[in-house]
Chain A
Amino acid sequence: MDNPILSYLWLVPVLPLVSAAIIAVCPQPCRRLAATLTIGSMIASFFVALAAFLTVLGVGGSAGGHGGGEVFRGFFNFEWFRFGGEALRLGLLLDPLTAAMLVMVTFVGSLICIFSVGYMSHDKNFTRFFGFLSLFSAAMLGLVIANSLLLLFMCWELVGLASYLLIGFWYHKPSAVVAAQKAFITTRIGDLGFFLGMVWLSSEAGTLLFYDGGNGLLEQSALTKMATGLTVGGMAVSTVISLLLFCGAAGKSGQFPLHVWLPDAMEGPTPVSALIHAATMVAAGVFLVARVYPLFSVVVGPETVSAALQVVAWTGAFTAVFAACIAVAQNDIKRILAYSTVSQLGYMMLCLGVGGLAGAIFHLIAHAFFKALLFLGAGSVIHGCHEEQDIRRMGDLRHRMPVTFVVYGIGMMALSGFPFFFSGFWSKEEILHWTHGWPVSQVPFYMALGGAFLTAFYMTRQMFFVFFGKKHSKEAAGAHESPAVMTVPLALLAAGAVLLSLVATPAWPWFHHFIEGGETHFDFSVFFVFGNLALMGASILVVGAGVGIGWFLYGRKDLPEAVADPLDRAAHPVFQVLQNRFYVDEFYAATVFRVLRGAAEVAAFFDRFVWGGIVLFARGVARFFSVFADVYDRHLFNDGFDSGCEAFRDSGGFLSRLQNGKIQSYLGVAGAGVVLLILIIAWI
């Protein structure tokens, strides 16, 4: 499958990388240059990505109805370097998954970079910020187009690094530094699993290329080998490797129990939260599972659902509900969104686990749009309210920030899954559809419904606190609308959040077929199949209930900051637990950290007393001898040493005389050299 676009694909990550490199050597005052380079390279990448997307569209035959059910898959492998007889090969891959992700990342990334120009305009480290953004974009795009698990892993670590740098961007704030380290270390725990899985995979499959004309690790021969091989506990090798890789995915995508870093990561600037911790990087875990989906889903024998996918599904379902519960009781506008992100990532994992690959990716992309929209909206609110983040201290912003209010409302409705005109509704629909049809258990389906209810509820709560009621603080009273460089990207994202709903309705499941292959027909009657209708009804009902109860509790009358939350009054203990995020951080502090601290104490004890004692003893012995040595030295050796020194100095003088600038002596040395060479041979 040779296609000209493949030879240009490398431009997509390299353009932002070049921009990052240039910005890295620019001095701080080059603000305009840095912003121009970053945005320019992102937009250029976007056009290349768009070309790639259209190529996939045209060749794959999934659109327009001609061609078979095959999906387009082009790859380009090259040798990185050769080590003895072994060559290390990397490659680039273009398939529908990559193409969709590329377009999403470059489009959302461009808008967020433009937004940042306004948001970061007062920051003195403006240039550095854009350098990091470029670095991040390059790494993320590299991750998406990698045709080798190794290349993917390298980019994976690079996005982790960029995320660390950007969370800790305001390094003068101690909380930001702590959050950055927490994020880095927590994801690193997951990456350990990823790395082990990769090494194992390499030894089993003999390659780390995904596709290699029949020899890749995602192709039939390698998959069959891994699925039939058994390891400890009778599990298939493919299952164990999948679970190890899933550790990395869970760390990056904030799945329980490694979700703790993501809410804290909101210490970074808001555009970073939008780009990295909502739209793109956190979705990398989902992308990883989707990329190696054949490995996760391969089964042999009587089973129908692979064990690895079951783990993925249950983890996703639990995380979705768990994080949604926490979001209900938070007061920081960005933290609510962060927990909502964790919850939505759980939905994506759940959907992957129950077999809905296309549904998960569609939710990923739709989520990227509306969550970036929400975060940037929140950024606009925070910017307008002079860095106030507590929703109880806002209120009545709909009059002062009308544009932000409208686009935020669209984002909120998309996230809650308001019927018919929002992408979130259809993507949630697809997830519910797949969970309902899962042969293993119906429990995740009900968990997903519960999560949908909670989502609608906490978003309604937030809307009423922020935009309705009365002004609750000076900051809210002095709020102002943000400049156009911030509101225009918001409007574009809002349009995306709405328009995306057109391509994935059950009546015209275009996106599904784009990802998984197959022909798309327009079939309106699907709506009226009883199962679909019932599902849709249930989902609308649940969302309606969420919004309704939200309005009942928070919308009817104004709630000043001093008045306790209605939920708190109704069920104080439960609310406390939720507000404290189920005490997960405290649990880690009490268990993991305590064990580590204990180990450190033991090590310190050994150091101080055992090893220290040995050193003290050695010192004593040495001292004892040194007394003797001193006497010996002073009276016997010193004279000898002095004369030795003199000889040394003389020889140094001799050496320096060799390089004395006199050509005669140079030639003498050369002549001596010849004699030396001859003598050596003669001696041997």
Chain B
Amino acid sequence: MNYFDFVKILSPEIVLLLVAMGIIGMGCRGGKFAEAGACAFLSFVGVLLAVGALIFCAPDGQMAGGMIVLDPLVRLVKFAILAMVAVAVVLLQADRPSYHVAENFAMLLFAAIGLLLIVGTEEMLVIFVGLELAGLALYALAGFARSDLGAAEAALKYFLFGSVAAAFLLYGMSLIFGVCGTTELQAMSAALRKNAQEPILTAGLAMALVGFGFKVAAVPFHLWAPDVYQGAPTPAAAFVASGSKVAGFFILAKFLFIGFGGLEGSAGWGSFAPGWVPMLGVMAALSMVVGNLMALVQKSVRRMLAYSGIGHAGFLLLALMAASAESLEAVVFYTVIYGVATLGAFGVVGVVVRERGGDSFSRFAGLVKREPVLSFSMLVFLCSLAGLPPLAGFFGKFFLFTAAMGAGGILGAAPGLLWLVALALFFSAVSLYYYLLVLKQIFFISEDGVAGCSGEGLGVVPRAVIFLLAVVTVGLGCFPDLLLGPIHRAVEVLLGN
């Protein structure tokens, strides 16, 4: 591996960086090039170039002891994130940001670079730098609508909570480094086997989990999420809920599976053993309970989506607890289809917010009359989130819970997590209720005389993109193998090494 390979592996990030710089430059110049359309187009081209770089330029390999890693699975996840960035670009353009137009797009791309960096590394410091890069860009993105008090508040909360979480993460990492003397995940796990009983390690791990728990919005580190989802501009919230979550869960899985492999412990009912699995168990159980119960009583659809997202994070943590190849596959599959459905749902919410001036449930009344295609898409997204067959969410949950039941398939060798799976199934049924509340408003309640403060309608491109997301959700539901197959093969390659 020489320096040139280093550049080649990082070529998607480099491309995005150059494009983002270019966009900022255009923003400074002002005029026609600083308008949303031009910036969106350029960002979109940048994403396409990055995808191209990922396909044609970047080779598989490892650099500098795992600082930069590219293998088939990483490649897949990077694809997913880039696709979500592309969708977010379209949504952002449709949202017509009023301040700092060019910087909006640039920040989105910076956040994407950060996420790509986290995904493609096996080294704690790069993880931290990536998380911070993505985080800072997203804080700014959430706060750009400076005339909107809600957005400013959301951004500030997001920033404060995020920086404290980052402090915890950094402190946790330094404790871990203190115990094992390395920041590389592979080397770490070898060192940890010798020092497994260090109490300081427990503290370090718990603090690191704060950082990751913040990123994936798991209870009790979730409190920022509802405020941010509700207050921030819809496209920013959509990206926080989708792309950021994919990366967060992927790196959490890597951090635990690689760095702390062998220190799992157990959360089986009656057979608890110390390790990271019981910690995740607590977070998973709390997330499922709190997320789903709080979602029941929300009046705002974006808050509801935030709390339901917290519930989904609980399901995903549950799958991570199985600590097997299957669970990694299931988590990647689920985060991707969750991201797709959430992006789409936020896209539809954005339309309602713009046309009706708010996102409370009653604003959705009679949407089917005005926007039949978007309503149908919303039906697909919410039913997929609720896990109804034959949509992708059903298979996602199915694989998730199967993985949690043990590596050997249903009722395999380790049914110890049965109590958590039962809890998850119960709350998954509860979740159907609040999704249906929205659908009821859309399809069955006719609009009362609220005169719409109707803004401009949605353009053709964002409309098509939302519909495309719905098609993907249905398609992956009918043929889950289209996505699961590549994931499975990528994981097999990984295990083979």
Contacts and interface: CB of A to CB of B under 8 A. Distances in A.
Bound pair (A, B): yes
Interface of A: 25, 27, 79-82, 84, 658-659, 661, 663, 666-667, 669-670, 672-674, 676-678, 680-682, 684
A171 B160 CA distance: 62
Pick from B209, B220, B410, B484 the residue with the most CB of A within 10 Å: B220
B231 to A, nearest CB: 10
Contact of A678 (B165, B206, B372, B373): B206
Contacts of A666: 157, 161, 223-224
A677 B285 CA distance: 13
Contacts of B202: 678, 681-682
A379 to B, nearest CB: 34
Given A663-B160, A680-B279, A684-B278, A670 B481 contact: no
B65 to A, nearest CB: 29
A680 B156 contact: no
A677 B168 contact: no
B198 to A, nearest CB: 12
Among all A-B residue pairs, the 3 with the closest Cβ atoms: A673-B220, A666-B223, A677-B206
Interface string B226-262: 1100000000000000000000000000000000000
Contact of A674 (B160, B168, B265, B410): B168
B156 A681 contact: no
Instruction: Classify chain B's interface size.
Output: 35 or more
Contacts of B164: 667, 670
A670 B221 contact: yes
Contacts of B219: 673
B479 A25 contact: no
Given A25-B376, A666-B157, A667-B160, A681 B206 contact: yes
A667 B481 contact: no
A25 B373 contact: yes
B157 A80 contact: no
A659 B300 CA distance: 15
A673 B282 CA distance: 10
B207 interface: yes
A667 B161 contact: yes
B442 to A, nearest CB: 14
Contacts of A677: 206, 209, 279, 282-283
Nearest to A677: B206
Nearest to B206: A677
A17 B220 CA distance: 48
Contacts of B220: 669-670, 672-673, 676
Contact of B282 (A25, A27, A82, A680): A680
A681 B276 CA distance: 9
Contact of B206 (A79, A81, A84, A674): A674
A674 to B, nearest CB: 5
Given A678-B203, A681-B202, A663 B161 contact: yes
Nearest to B276: A681
Interface in B175-231: 199, 202-203, 206-207, 209-210, 213-214, 219-221, 223-224, 226-227
Contacts of A672: 220
B480 interface: yes
Given A673-B220, A677-B206, A684-B274, A82 B160 contact: no
A676 B221 CA distance: 12
Contacts of B357: none
Given A80-B481, A678-B206, 6 more contacts: A79-B481, A667-B161, A670-B220, A674-B207, A677-B209, A682-B199
A81 B480 contact: yes
Nearest to B165: A670
Contacts of B273: 684
B433 interface: no
22 contacts: A81-B395, A81-B479, A81-B481, A81-B484, A82-B484, A658-B223, A659-B223, A663-B156, A663-B160, A670-B164, A670-B165, A670-B210, A670-B220, A672-B220, A673-B210, A673-B220, A678-B202, A678-B203, A678-B206, A681-B278, A684-B274, A684-B278
Pick from B206, B376, B410, B479 the residue with the most CB of A within 10 Å: B206
B426 interface: no
Nearest to B266: A684
